Structure 1
Amino acid sequence: MKVLVCGSTGCVGQAVVRALRSRGHEVVEGARSARDGDRSMQVDFMRERTPEAWAARLSARGVDAVVNCVGILMASRTQSFERVHAAGPIELFRGAARAGVRRVVQISALGVGDDADSLAMPYLRSKLLADESLAALPLDWTVLRPALVYGPRSQSAALFATLASLPVISLPGGGTQRLQPIHVFELAEAVARRIEDDTPHREVLELGGADVLSYREMLARYRDALGLGEALWLPLPMLLMKLAGWLAEALPQKVFCRDTMRLLERGSVPARNAAAALLGRAPTAFAQGLAITRPEAMLNLRVELSPPVAALMRASLAFMWLYTALVSALLRDASGVMALLARCGFEGDAGIAALVFSCTLNTALGLMVLMRPSARVYALQSAAIVGYTVTAAVRMPELTIDHCGPLVKNLPMLAAVLTLWLAHRAPKEQGRPFRDERPIMKGLAVRLNPSRTPPA
């Protein structure tokens, strides 16, 4: 069968092209950057093209089926939801009907509907317009509405992997949103099977993976797949995250905005998951999918330290904290610590209280980093270094230009703490049941990526 795949350079489109070709189909790759050729077609939904013109192009190529994988998460000056998601695909679908194309598969989005909330979101509303237009045409059609898609080239997966790799991970609304991610390889396999199915279809199907996870659980799986250790989880109000999304819209990125926060708030779990019916088997577990195609974060924050180097760094930090506490406690007048506290506004009894607190904190930090290092310990050390530095800089600004750099030296010390934090690995949880799903994923890798050797 000859299939036109629109959006062939994107995450879903590229996987669909690979899946169809691995099953013996002839594929015409449609993309904005493509030129018309034997195996490619220039497809730019921002350019108006009549259904008659589309019909002529499809007929001339002998296209039997069309798969539309074109989609954007954020509108821009050069790409609008109205053209990319609605008007452009509608022109194509109508042209396909005129040309006698046998089958059309439209990759839509989970959450598309006629409720007031979804209609208020340009992303979902524009998808709905194309879905409804396709449903009104006299041809075989399937609208697939996948949950969150992850895998190679997924921009959202790269964003989540980046967020998961941070030492402090923010959790919008507490991170309780329910998600059911599906691997792009399995979405592509579902598309290929639907293209090959000779049974007439005119239906909308929702697809999801095997696992329903909270947002926090999903990020934890990403972190495990990246081989990272402990992190601190920071619940944040959803309103604050939407504000951050609004600010991020001014940055050169295409994933994080107010609408993506609203989509996350809605969750992404199919009401009725059709993945197993389309695949002929259960979809793959999320952790195993990440094991086959390891996520790639936009920033590589993974740090590997040999045990002797890590031990030396921890011992050095421990010595610094303990030495400071000991000298301050035993030689408070000779060391000048009371004079420094007085200049910071702590005199008399307040100075003694501040000294006791500082010595206790320094002693605790020294012992913990030496004997029981953890993400919380490194976070507390970082906060203490920043707190001491800022307080001294504000109260004693002359220290900022001291030729010996008493405050500037805190920067490499902070860097050492952060390095140890990023390199820290917590012991693996014991007693967790393990189900070996490698045979399932081996088959998946062979079917959809024949050039890749599956892991043993």
Structure 2
Amino acid sequence: MRVLVCGSTGCVGAAVVRALRSRGHKVVEGARAAIDGRATMHVDFMQAHTPQAWAERLRATPVDAIVNCVGILMPSRGQSFERVHARGPIELFEGAALAGVRRIVQVSALGVGAAGDDTPYLRSKQQADDALAALPLDWAVLRPSLVYGPRSQSAALFATLASLPVISLPGRGEQRVQPIHVYELAEAITRLVEHAGVLRAAHELGGPNVLTYREMLAHYRAALGLGDALWLPLPMPLMRATALLAEALPQTVLCGDTIRLLERGSVPSINAAAGLLGRTPSTMAHGLAITSPEPLVDLRAHLSPALDLALRASLAFMWLYTALISLWLPQESGVLRLLARCGFDGEAGVAVMVASCALNITLGALTLLHPSPRLYALQFAAVIGYTATAAFNMPELTIDHCGPLAKNLPVLALVVLLWMAQRPAPRAGGGRARVHAKPLRGATPLHSQ
């Protein structure tokens, strides 16, 4: 078959192109820019074309089927939901019907048509879905849950969030999702293109398991080879405000609609993935083991065991030395004078010194014996607290040429480096703690089509 794939350079489109070509189909790639050495058609839904104009183009480059994978997560100055999701595709679909194209597969979005959900994103998708269903040709609409895999913008954002040492959660992170790998979505689309009978149906797709948002991020973190993180629940009003602020930044993933869709959940009412694939789809752990996550910003730090030990030893020495020298020589070290400047004089100063030294000894010992994300978070807070207290009560230290407070900046950098380099804790059997990556029974390994 000869198939036009619109949005061929995106996450879903590129996977569909590979899947179709692997099965011997001839593919015409529809994209906004020419692709050297490949059969292409200029497809830019922001530019209006009449159905008759599309029909002429499709007669000049005849195709048997069209797969529309074009989509944006949020509008921008150059792209709008109305044109990219609704008017542009509808013009193409109507032109395809005039040109005699046999079948169209439309990649829509999960949640289209759901009661009480009328975000601009879903509303624009539904307009194209409804227009396609009214045309005199064969069609299928796929409404997938979150799609992850190579080139996925949302997956890149989730992988970046998962790689942070402190991970912010919307609420308690209990929003329900059912991610599906882009390779398996592409496989389902290919099977629909090849289907011998009449389609004319919409299908909701997802992976094999329903996950919470927090569990999904844990899968990304495990696939990145990272250890435990600190999970920080944030009130939903704060998350919504953050998303609105993010709309002003040069990014195309996080916005108010994104948060509303996440709150709604992304779980198919009837998961058609197994029926379309002829098998159970692979788990997210398995999918991420086949195609590693691609964060927008890679924050992973890799330290050899020897270097990790050396850096932890130097940090531990700082904590232990400051505690022991203060206890051993409280007058000569000047610690009591500093505490007096901070308002702790006499017995109060001694009590605060002992408490501070106890904290420092604990931090130093644990850095050597039992490093953990919580320990590094506590050290980070301690350095900030000590520095802020000294700077407020003894401002002359901020301009001292020896930099007694400025030197805390590289100390903070070292704490963050060790924090980011934390690996999963070894299991009793010698393996590393990780999310199990074996596919469900009946599933076959993912592969690049």
TM-score band w.r.t. shorter chain: over 0.9
TM-fit CA distance, 1:226? 0.8
- In structure 2, the CA distance between the partners of 1:209 and 1:357, relative to structure 1 (3 Å rule), is same
Report the AA paired with residue 109 of structure 1. Answer: A
Is 2:15 the partner of 1:15?
Answer: yes
Aligned equivalent of 1:375:
373
* Corresponding position of 1:362: 360
User: Aligned AA for 1:276?
Assistant: A
Q: Which structure 2 residues correspond to residues 292-311 of structure 1 after superposition, within 5 A? A: 292-311=290-309
Q: Distance in 2 between matches of 1:3 and 1:36?
A: 18
Q: Letter of the aligned partner of 1:411 in structure 2?
A: L
Shift of 1:260: 0.9
Residue in structure 2 matched with residue 71 of structure 1 by the alignment: 71
Q: CA offset at residue 394 of structure 1? A: 2.0
The answer to whether 1:444 aligns with 2:446 is: yes
1:124 positional shift: 0.8
Match of 1:88 in 2: 88
Hey, what does 1:252 align to over in structure 2?
Answer: 250
Query: How far has the Cα of 1:351 moved from its partner?
Result: 2.6
Instruction: Determine if contact 2:290/2:446 at 8 Å carries over to the other structure.
Output: no
**TM-score, normalization: structure 2?**
0.95
Counterpart residue number, 2:203: 205
Give matches, 1:276-291, under 5 Å: 276-291=274-289
Residue 176 (1) aligns with residue 174 (2): yes
Q: 1-side partners of 2:324 and 2:437: how far apart?
A: 52
Residue type of the partner of 2:29?
E
Per the alignment, residue 3 of structure 1 pairs with 3
Distance (whole Å) between structure 1 residues aligned to residue 350 and residue 129 of structure 2: 72
Structure 2 vs 1, CA of residues 188 and 85 (structure 1 numbering), >3 Å: closer, same or farther?
Answer: same
Are the structure 2 counterparts of residues 36 and 94 from structure 1 closer, same or farther at C-alpha, using a change threshold of 3 Å?
farther
Shifted more, 37-46 versus 413-422: the winner is: 37-46
Query: In the superposition, relative to structure 1, how do residues 318 and 443 fare at CA in structure 2: closer, same or farther (>3 Å)?
Result: closer
Is residue 286–residue 437 contact of structure 2 (8 Å, CA) maintained in 1?
Answer: no
Aligned to 2:384: 386
Give the aligned residue type for 2:335: V
- The within-5 A match list for 1:213-224 is 213-224=211-222
Residue 436 of structure 1 and its aligned partner are, at CA, apart by 4.2
Supply the distance in 2 between the matched residues of 1:11 and 1:273 (Cα, whole angstroms): 21
Q: Which residue of 2 is the match for residue 400 of structure 1?
A: 398
Q: What whole-Å deviation, never above 9, does each CA across 1:352-379 have from its counterpart, x for those lacking one? A: 3322321121111111111111111111
Return 5+ residue gaps in structure 1 as ranges.
450-456
Counterpart of 1:52? 52
The code of the aligned residue for 1:91 comes to: E
Tell me the CA shift for residue 137 of structure 1. Answer: 1.1
CA–CA separation in structure 1 for the residues paired with 2:154 and 2:202: 24
Deviation at 1:430, TM superposition (A): 5.5
8 Å contact from structure 1 (residues 288, 441) kept in 2? no
**1:166: which partner in 2?**
164
Asked if 2 retains the 8 angstrom alpha-carbon contact of 1:150 and 1:182, the reply is yes
- Deviation at residue 100 of structure 1 after TM alignment: 1.4
Change (3 A) 1:271 1:42: same
Q: How does 1:33-48 map to 2 (within 5 A)?
A: 33-34=33-34, 39-48=39-48
Instruction: Say if 1:35 and 1:41, in contact at 8 Å, map to a contact too.
Output: no
Per-residue CA deviation, residues 391-448 of structure 1 (Å, 9 max, x unaligned), is 2122222111111110111111111111111122232456899674499887531xx4
The code of the aligned residue for 2:89 comes to P
Instruction: Provide the C-alpha distance between the structure 1 equivalents of 2:28 and 2:231, rounded to a whole number of angstroms.
Output: 46
Report deviation, 1:114.
4.9
* Conserved? CA contact 2:181–2:207, under 8 Å: yes
Give the partner amino acid of 1:266: R
CA contact under 8 A between 2:286 and 2:438: conserved in structure 1? no
SS at structure 2 position matched to 1:138: coil
Q: Which moved more, 1:422-431 or 1:235-244?
A: 422-431
Residues 342-357 of structure 1: matches in 2 within 5 Å? 342-357=340-355
Change over 3 Å in CA distance of 1:33–1:110 after alignment to 2: same
Are 1:8 and 1:30, in contact at CA under 8 Å, matched by a contact in 2? yes
Partner of 1:417: 415
Alpha-carbon offset, residue 329 of structure 1: 2.3
Change (3 A) 1:82 1:37: farther
User: SS of 1:444's equivalent?
Assistant: coil
CA distance in 2, matches of 1:201, 1:176: 36
SS in 2 for 1:299: coil
Match 1:126 to one of 124, 127, 131: 124
Q: Aligned residue for 2:323?
A: 325
TM-score, L = length of structure 1: 0.93
CA, structure 1 residues 209+114, in 2 after alignment: closer, same or farther (shift >3 Å)?
Answer: closer
Q: Give the equivalent residue in structure 2 for 1:454.
A: none
* Cα distance in structure 2, aligned partners of 1:83 and 1:429: 53
Query: Offset of 1:229 from its aligned partner?
Result: 1.6
Give the superposed CA RMSD: 2.0
- Identity between Structure 1 and Structure 2 (%): 67
Q: SS where residue 251 of structure 1 aligns?
A: coil
What's the CA shift for 1:333? 2.1
**Paired AA for residue 212 in structure 1:** V
Matched AA of 1:359 = C
* d(CA) in 1 for partners of 2:386, 2:315: 15
**What SS does the aligned partner of 1:87 have?**
helix
What are the ranges of 5 or more consecutive residues in structure 2 without an aligned counterpart? none
- Offset, 1:348: 3.9
Determine the structure 1 residue equivalent to 2:234. Answer: 236
Q: CA deviation at 1:315?
A: 1.7
2:167–2:230 Cα contact (<8 Å) kept = yes
Once residues 295 and 83 of structure 1 are traced to their aligned partners in structure 2, the CA distance between those partners, rounded to angstroms, is: 31
**Shift of residue 334, structure 1, vs aligned partner:** 2.1
Is the 8 Å Cα contact of residues 289 and 441 (structure 1) preserved in structure 2?
no
Residue 28 of structure 2: aligned partner = 28
Amino acid at match of 1:68: N
Counterparts of 1:282 and 1:185, CA distance in 2: 14
Which range moves more in the overlay, 31-40 or 307-316?
Answer: 31-40
How far 1:190 sits from its partner (Å)? Answer: 0.4
Q: Which residue of 2 aligns with 1:316?
A: 314
